[in-house]
Homo-oligomer: A and B are copies of this chain.
Amino acid sequence: MTHDAALAGLKTLLGNRLVTSDADRALHGQNETWFPNTPPEAVAYPETTQEVAQIVALCNTHRCPVTAYGAASSLEGQHLAARGGISLDMNRMNRVLDVRAEDLNAVVQPGITRIALNEDLRTTGLFFPVDPGADASIGGMAATRASGTTAVRYGTMRENILALEAVMADGTVIRTGSDARKSSTGYDLTHLLIGSEGTLGIITELTLRLQGIPEAMSAATCRFATVEDAVNCVILTIQSGLPMARIELLDEVMVRGFNLYSDAGLPELPHLFLEFHGSPAAVAEQAEAFGDIAADFGADAFRTATTTEDRNALWAMRHNAHYASGALGKGKRIMATDVCVPISKLAKAVTQAQSDAQRLGLTAPIVGHVGDGNFHCGVSVDPNDPDEKARVETFTGALAETALRLGGTVSGEHGIGLGKMKYMTAEHGPALPIMRAIKAALDPNDILNPGKMLPPGNQ
């Protein structure tokens, strides 16, 4: 199905900011993971909320799909125009509109990336803490309910957005939330939109909570004989209420990837990467308390990094985990998957994943935000090898099943997109028809990122 009438109307509206070249379409069909290139019919580059509203209203009239596009760093195909229509490229709406240092918040457009935002904030003494690794767009991070290395301390996108402006399916512009830190008036549309993956509305403005840059920060690494020791150390640390700023697990396979990609020179044993934030005294107290716990689990080579350079080098290495996974499977694609379980079940989930990978003959390094019970596997897969593809499918299915059996969720932060729709019934059961009813009520023509999140089924 093509959408000529919609595209003609959009051309009139946007002129040369509606692009139909093969190159631009192919670019917008790319993804970081294993989905085939999925070009949209056209790419629209709005510059204002008003334009987004006009575009969406026009597409609604002509039943033309609209899929929002930011930094294209989503890992479950959320930004791909799976049912054709237009890619709504938000990158021209990338300004910081207001920084209200006295209220610890900022108003931004969705196309700004988290690194650009923090550059902009640098002189204020404040920062936006959510850090998914990739330099994702803030709009995309909101739409996928992203989190990352610092969620254990500062929360996910869910906890760090005060208010939104969004364009709904008929082109109506709404504002959700307020500039106050809390409210009990009306349905929580802010949280309904966060994590809705562009299927309920297009986010056009965000009011974000900011944090004061801590007076002191120090990072550390240590290694363990077994992944159980490392994970049990994490569990006790969290249970003790230590306000860790970051606590990341790397299993021995992931460490090998870091050695290959970043020349890390680390012994191929499970590691924890840590960060402490606070006053100088608090940071020292936390590091000492953590060291005591870690020692009980036989931690070795506890090293701290207090200079900014050393810390940055450590987290740059961590943030390249996706590419380090790639280094383990030269010439292959990386199927990046994540799950999240209650912290008490973390050791069980991680060791189950390791043994599943071994049994299936797969390279599946594990790295994770283990303070939240969240971990990732970056499985190497040759898209031209049907047998390996089938084994990867078996692995990810087993991982999802493990997470659900242990009371967890099939995704802690990557979301559903195209890749995980098949688990929605198992995870949500009778709540899934409620989600479908909301989708049908708010987007009756199914134009907003159709074919994502909600698997086909009866309304």
Contact = CB atoms under 8 A, between A and B. Distances in A.
Interface residues of A, number: 89
Given A174-B431, A187-B438, A344-B102, A182 B374 contact: yes
A412 B180 contact: yes
A241 interface: yes
Interface in A413-459: 413-416, 420, 423-424, 427-435, 437-442, 453-454
B172 A430 contact: yes
Interface in A368-392: 372-374
A316 interface: no
Interface stretch (A42-50, A302-310, A402-410): A402-410
A179 B429 contact: no
A265 interface: no
Interface in A265-303: 279, 281-282, 285
Contacts of A145: 182-184, 188
Contacts of A200: 187
B437 A185 contact: no
Contacts of A186: 195, 416, 424, 427-428, 431-432, 435, 453-454
Nearest to A433: B172
Contact of A185 (B104, B410, B442): B410
Contacts of A427: 178, 185-186
B182 A158 contact: yes
Contacts of A7: none
Of listed A239, A241, A279, residue having the most chain B CB within 10 A = A241
A189 interface: yes
Given A174-B434, A434-B168, A441-B441, A188 B182 contact: no
Of listed A144, A212, A441, residue having the most chain B CB within 10 A = A441
Contact of A435 (B189, B409, B413): B189
A342 B429 contact: no
A366 interface: no
Contact of A182 (B104, B105, B151, B235): B151
B341 A158 contact: no
A196 interface: yes
A421 to B, nearest CB: 10
A109 interface: no
Contacts of A442: 434, 437-438
A90 B416 CA distance: 35
A216 interface: no
A189 B433 CA distance: 12
A408 B182 CA distance: 9
Contacts of A211: 241
A182 B434 contact: no
A113 interface: no
A230 to B, nearest CB: 17
A438 B187 CA distance: 9
A67 interface: no
A409 B440 contact: no
Given A100-B344, A239-B102, A407-B178, A183 B434 contact: no
A146 interface: yes
Contacts of A104: 238-239, 343
A152 to B, nearest CB: 9
Contacts of A374: 180-182
A408 B178 contact: yes
A156 interface: yes
A218 interface: no
Q: Which 9 A-B pairs have the closest CB atoms?
A: A191-B191, A179-B407, A441-B441, A183-B409, A145-B184, A174-B431, A180-B340, A102-B344, A212-B241
21 contacts: A102-B344, A104-B239, A145-B188, A147-B182, A158-B188, A159-B159, A180-B340, A180-B341, A180-B403, A181-B340, A182-B340, A183-B411, A184-B195, A185-B410, A185-B428, A187-B192, A187-B438, A189-B431, A192-B192, A212-B239, A440-B441
Interface of A: 100-105, 144-147, 151, 155-156, 158-159, 168, 172-176, 178-189, 191-192, 194-196, 200, 211-212, 235, 238-241, 279, 281-282, 285, 340-344, 372-374, 403, 407-416, 420, 423-424, 427-435, 437-442, 453-454
